Structure 1
Amino acid sequence: MFPQVGSEVMVSCEPAPARVVSVGPRYVQLEWPWREVDNSSFFQWDGTFALPYGESQSEWVPYVTEPAVSELAVGDVCTVSIPRTRLHVAHYEKYEPARNLGWSPAPTAGIYVVPEERMDQEEGGCMLYLGGADPILVEPLSE
């Protein structure tokens, strides 16, 4: 069953260790623990993921780190995860074949989720890629 636009879902992702690659005023960049670089891909993904924080108030992702992003320095190892979070589905895409984004395994779906408090913002959410390496669990909530 595909999530319906406008429906609510519970999203989570099990914790994994990640090393901090860089820290700036808006982002902390982590070596992403779940994906492998696909060197055969036209897209040159570098194996990292940037988490917004600080001056990046307009951006949002459901991922959290332990310790908190604001406490991290280059070279630190932290835990990254998505705690069980109730979110709204703003967009859903199914990819047949799997979508080539420069990492392996490639995702088979994408879901754009938005928290309740950001529903009025045009770009208030985050695209999560499903069916690839990231162990994201999306559970539909009955209304």
Structure 2
Amino acid sequence: MGADHRVGDVLLVSCPYTDARVTRLTRREVVVEWPWWEVDPDCDWIEWNGQVALAGDPASYDWDLELFRTEPPPRHLEVGAVCKVGIPPTVVHVMSVERMDPPLETGRLPRLETQVMVLRTGQSHDPDLEWQGYGIAPDDGIPIALDLLFRPYACLVAGDEVADAAGRAWRFDAPWDWHPFDGQEPSEPAWPLSLLTRDGRPDDAAATVVARATRSGSHEQELARWVELTQARPTRLVVVRDSARQPNR
């Protein structure tokens, strides 16, 4: 997997099923010896025991958040049994991306450098919730595949300034997060678009790409395609958070 994930991306997530031993079962969880990570010997404040708890009750709220599944299902497992753990092909959309510098200590290796928060098909971002979504670390050693199905406004990057067909100037922050310089409604640009600046300066090559990509179609068509795939409501989200952290001690 590459590290170029963006808010609004629609992804097909999967992970090959791998053997894991069941260490504990409760009504809501199945705990397994995790087959991918290692204990971080240089982390002296978090002691990871090599185990991970997965949602085990299909009727619970956690079940819809969890991506990993066991084969056989939790109801057919017992402590000490060897099962398989993986992710069946699942469509998700990216809610936020966070990058940590230095990497975050979690008690296991690899340390967390990037976390992509995703929501399943049918789940919409709720800004009133303190925590939502499922975190995927693209470079943490788990063989997760993230296949890009659709990237709305793939020709633009956060911070681009454009002019639309009506002559209005806009700043693009995310597919559904547009800011007109005049502060007036409506809240979406009219295609085709002309790139004014990227990284604060003109970019002729990028401008050609933007003009070509928006020659046909519309903001409404981009949105309709996204909603078709995600079955979710579009919201304004955080594009990327770069976290400069002090070493965790």
The TM-score normalised by the length of structure 1 is 0.88
RMSD, matched Cα? 2.0
Distance in 2, matches of 1:70 and 1:119, equals 29
Distance in 1, matches of 2:90 and 2:58, equals 23
Letter paired with 2:114: A
| Contact 1:94–1:109 (8 Å) recurs in 2 | yes
1:37 maps to 39
1:105 to 87, 110, 114: 110
Runs of 4+ in 1 over 3 A off after TM superposition: 120-124
> Does structure 1 residue 19 correspond to structure 2 residue 21?
yes
Letter paired with 1:63: F
> Does structure 1 residue 130 correspond to structure 2 residue 122?
no
Distance in 2, matches of 1:86 and 1:54, equals 21
Q: Equivalent residue of 1:43, what SS? A: coil
Distance in 1, matches of 2:137 and 2:16, equals 15
| Contact 1:107–1:133 (8 Å) recurs in 2 | no
For each residue in 1:87-132, what CA deviation from the matched residue of structure 2 results, as whole angstroms up to 9, or x when unmatched?
Answer: 0111211223332211112232111111122326645521122212
| Contact 1:35–1:104 (8 Å) recurs in 2 | yes
Deviates more, 1:114-123 or 1:28-37: 114-123
**Which protein is richer in strand relative to its size?**
1
Distance in 2, matches of 1:32 and 1:110, equals 19
> Does structure 1 residue 7 correspond to structure 2 residue 9?
yes
Identity %: 31
For each residue in 1:33-59, what CA deviation from the matched residue of structure 2 results, as whole angstroms up to 9, or x when unmatched?
Answer: 000111321222211111112276111
The TM-score normalised by the length of structure 2 is 0.53
1:54 maps to 57
**Which protein is richer in helix relative to its size?**
2
| Contact 1:67–1:79 (8 Å) recurs in 2 | yes
Question: For residues 24 and 11 of structure 1, do their structure 2 counterparts lie closer, same or farther at Cα, with a shift above 3 Å needed?
Answer: same
Select the structure with the greater relative contact order (CA < 8 A; seq sep ≥ 6).
1
Q: Equivalent residue of 2:122, what SS? A: helix
Q: Equivalent residue of 1:111, what SS? A: strand
> Does structure 1 residue 75 correspond to structure 2 residue 77?
no
Alignment of 1:83-102 (within 5 A): 83-102=88-107
Letter paired with 2:52: F
Structure 1 stretches lacking a partner, 5+ long: none
**Number of residue pairs the alignment of both structures matches:** 143
Letter paired with 2:122: E
Distance in 1, matches of 2:132 and 2:61, equals 7
Distance in 1, matches of 2:33 and 2:99, equals 26
